[in-house]
Amino acid sequence: MIRKSMVIALKDGLEARPIAELVQVASKYDSRIYIELGTKRVNAKSIMGMMSLELDNGDSMTVSADGADEAAAIAEIEGFISRTPSDAE
Model pLDDT for residues 43-80, shown as the tens digit of each residue: 999 999 999 998 888 999 999 999 999 999 999 999 99
Greatest pairwise CA separation for the chain in angstroms = 34
User: Minimal CA–CA distance to 54: which of 4, 83, 14?
Assistant: 14
End-to-end CA distance of the chain: 33
Query: Cα–chain-centroid distance for residue 58?
Result: 13
Model pLDDT for residues 5-18, shown as the tens digit of each residue: 999 988 777 788 89
User: Is-contact 65 2, C-beta < 8 A?
Assistant: yes
Domain limits of the chain? 2-84
Question: Which pTM value belongs to this model?
Answer: 0.88
Q: In terms of CATH, what superfamily is 2-84?
A: HPr-like (3.30.1340.10)
**pLDDT at residue 25 in the model:** 97
pLDDT band at 86 (very low <50, low <70, confident <90, very high): very low
